[in-house]
Amino acid sequence: MKVKEIVLPGEVVDERKGRKLGSGVYLGDDKVFSKVLGIPKVDENEISVIALSGVYIPRVGDRIIGIINEVEISGWSVDINSPYTAFLPFSEAVEEFVDMSRTDLSRYFDIGDTIYCKISKVTKNKVVQVSMNDMSAKKLYSGVIVKVTPTKIPRIIGRGGSMISLMKNKTKCDIIPGQNGVVWIKGEDKTKAIEAVLTVEKESHIVGLTEKIEKMLT
Amino acid sequence: MRIDGRQPEDLREIQMKIDIISSANGSAEVKFGNTVAVAGVYGPKGLFPRHLQESETGILRCRYNMAPFSVDERKSPGPDRRSVELSKVIRLSIEPTIFLEEFPRATIDGFIEIIQADGSTRVTGINALSLALASAGIPMRDLVTACSVGKINDTLIVDLNGEEDNNSQADISFAILPSKNLVTLLQMDGILGKEELIELLNMAKSSCEKIYEMQKKLLKEKYSGE
Amino acid sequence: MGSYAIEMIEKGKRIDGRAFDEFRNIEIKENVVKKAEGSASVKIGETHVIAGIKLELAEPFEDTPNEGVLVVNIEFSPIASPDFESGPPGEDAIEVARIVDRGIRESKAIKLDELFIAPEKVWGVFVDIHVINHKGNILNAAALASLVALLNTRIPKIVDGKIVRNEFERKLPVEHKPITVSVCKVGNKYILDPLLEEENILDAKLSVAIREDEKICALQKQGSKGIDFEEIEKMVDLAVEKSKEIRELIKWQ
């Protein structure tokens, strides 16, 4: 079985040659070293290493799937599958004008509700705010949640969305991959979709994965 | 000739495994001869509110613990003064390599359990913890590699087993970030002249280079497909 | 906010105007505690520790049935610093006690084999160090206070199997004089005898216990950053050099 090259923390990925440093790497003497156990991604513009494991560290702009875990006075606390909890302010979630001192916010979102939202703010100390003020943001009803290593999500999406389209078409399921490693699946034949997602996670470093998934789902 | 037939510069038989504790974010088991250490890493994970105040960088917490059955005479469970000191020096042997600034207000917890003790337990534990951290995806400058060296019967040796540890004229615990040449653990006790000390440090460095190659090989092989 | 200590060290100066390899003023007083069998007060600058030695009847260890036992403890009393809390010793106190212990034990300073009394009965030498004021470099002060206290310790008489506290039969047999010096790395500079402000910003510390014959008996690297492999020898040399100066201070003990 052919695998992509693996690098380890402390190993040289490449010489910098003026390129941008992406995630998973650090600079020393104009050489670029890996910070993590992962797969190097090197092109003319950027050098990075995709970690094979690790938790989700929130970044502004990420579209993620979160679960409401606390209803507060002016918003909700959201579990975003990270060491850091996020806050969804009322103003970022509901368009109505409402007297918050008299309203119980749980009529909008309650504990356990699943939402697809966007990371709108991350401070230096990783205090996180999310927002539903985005075209794709919505509450997700029924369906199941699968958690995978966040760095595998791009592989689950595939180049230009090729992998996720393949999975959606073949299983006739609705699949939303959150960049925080949470994947939401809804449909009749969820099992196949779940298996496909888990297979991509497990074998993301194996060459020829797309063909394998195609075969699996036919 | 040493008690177990080894040459002065020979390491014991080394076995390493990773991902042996599925509950943990990363884990490993390392054996140096009959010394067996298991390491597990949890995190990064959120800190309880009362610790939130000052951590602009993440915190590393380490616990070294010996199982009661790991030694000849049963060791009472729970931390004793030695375990407290070793937990501290182990934490400080690992801290310099982790990019803690990427995890403000979060903690990475590292645990080392000694299942069987036959000398050089702290360095065996550090080798295991290093593998567990890499396997957990914790961003690091380099792996940390550790070994023991010492002097017994006027001979300088590498990787002391239990009996050698008890009868040595000097013993050193040493850990290094091999590709950065940065020493993060150095403890010695006994009686050594300065030249002997320097020679032993050089022996420790080259032994660590051998162990480093084994650690790297294991991590890469994990992903060579099953 | 950068630390002013680092700012000064980078420019080649220290907060209190000392040279990088200079110790603060060391003040040693022996026999300061009448109830102890041996004692010493050591001040290094404003850091002040008191070591008291108590001799008690003890059971020997199984593998050394004819040897006395040595126990070293240090108390980071809350009176000494706003950073110390009441309660059992934390990891820092335990570490210092164990380094001081190793300096004494590994150097074979005390002739433990001359502390046998009877089968299953030996002298236990209890070294207890109390920190009175913490202004940096407790370890070096504690090690020095312990040594001076031991050099002044007298073994009480035993009458009918009981210790008679203010009658003494001989001095505690102390054969070697280990001195512990901590070398601190701040950037690419080395300083000795760190002030509290300097301890809080140092990168790494290497503590070395050296005997009078220049043999090295204990080493401990502390601090949250690493040390370049090549630097170790330099730091050890600095410690050995300085240890001679410090030992001069106690040559009449």
Distance of CA C142 to the CA centre of its chain: 3
> The domain spanning residue B64 has which CATH number?
3.30.230.70
Q: Which of the listed CATH numbers 3.30.420.40, 3.30.230.70, 2.40.30.10, 3.40.190.10 matches domain C4-249? A: 3.30.230.70
Backbone angles phi, psi at B213, to 5 degrees: -60, -40
CB distance B137 to A36 below 8 Å? yes
- Tell me what pLDDT residue C166 has: 86
B5 occurs within a structural domain: no
Domain boundaries, chain C: 4-249
Angstrom distance (rounded) from CA C18 to CA C103: 27
Structural domains present in chain A: 12-51 (2.40.50.100), 63-140 (2.40.50.140), 144-217 (3.30.1370.10)
Nearest Cα neighbor of C149 from C40, C246, C27, C73 is C40
Render each residue's pLDDT in chain A as its tens digit; 218 residues. Answer: 567 789 999 999 999 999 999 999 999 988 999 999 999 999 999 999 999 999 999 999 999 999 999 999 899 999 999 999 999 999 999 888 888 778 888 889 999 999 999 999 999 999 999 999 999 999 999 999 999 999 999 999 998 999 999 999 999 999 999 999 999 999 988 898 999 999 998 888 888 888 899 888 88
Q: Which of the other chains make 3 or more beta carbon contacts under 8 angstroms with chain B?
A: A, C
The CA distance from A172 to the nearest CA of chain B, in Å, is 30
Q: Does A3 touch chain B (CB under 8 A)?
A: yes
Q: Which domain holds residue B212?
A: 14-217
Angstrom distance (rounded) from CA C151 to CA C250: 10
CB distance B190 to B170 below 8 Å? yes
What is the ipTM metric for this complex? 0.90
Neighbours of B89 (CB within 10 A): 24
Tokens of B208: 């660590």
Question: At how many degrees (to 10) do helices B194-221 and C231-249 cross?
Answer: 140
B4 occurs within a structural domain: no
Say whether B105 and A84 touch across the interface (CB within 8 A).
yes
Neighbours of A20 (CB within 10 A): 9
Encode pLDDT of B127-175 as tens digits: 999 999 999 999 999 999 999 999 999 999 999 999 999 999 999 999 9
Encode pLDDT of B40-83 as tens digits: 999 899 876 655 556 788 999 999 999 999 999 899 998 999 99
The CA distance from B102 to the nearest CA of chain A, in Å, is 9
Say whether B179 and A11 touch across the interface (CB within 8 A).
yes
CB distance C150 to C174 below 8 Å? yes
The CA distance from C166 to the nearest CA of chain B, in Å, is 33
Tokens of B43: 């995190």
Using a threshold of 3 CB pairs under 8 A, tell whether chains A and C touch. no
- Tell me what pLDDT residue B226 has: 40
Q: Does B213 touch chain C (CB under 8 A)?
A: no
Q: Does B208 touch chain C (CB under 8 A)?
A: no
Residue with tokens 């991350």: A122
Nearest Cα neighbor of A36 from A16, A17, A15, A22 is A22
Q: Is the pLDDT of residue B224 over 90?
A: no
B37 occurs within a structural domain: yes
User: What's this model's pTM, rounded to 2 decimal places?
Assistant: 0.92
CB distance B180 to A10 below 8 Å? yes
- Tell me what pLDDT residue A98 has: 82
Q: Does B25 touch chain A (CB under 8 A)?
A: yes
Angstrom distance (rounded) from CA B16 to CA B178: 18
Name, in order, each residue with C-beta under 8 angstroms of A150's C-beta and a sequence gap of 6 or more: A54, A55, A56, A81, A179, A180, A181
DSSP A106-125: GGTS-TT-EEEEEEEEE-TT
Chain C residues with CB inside 8 Å of B192's CB? 215-217
Q: Is the pLDDT of residue C253 over 80?
A: no
Angstrom distance (rounded) from CA C202 to CA C193: 12
The CA distance from C230 to the nearest CA of chain B, in Å, is 8
Q: What is the C-alpha end-to-end distance of chain B, expressed in Å?
A: 41
B198 occurs within a structural domain: yes
- Tell me what pLDDT residue A86 has: 97
Number of domains comprising chain B: 1
Question: At how many degrees (to 10) do helices A190-202 and A209-217 cross?
Answer: 160
Give the three-state DSSP class for C176.
coil
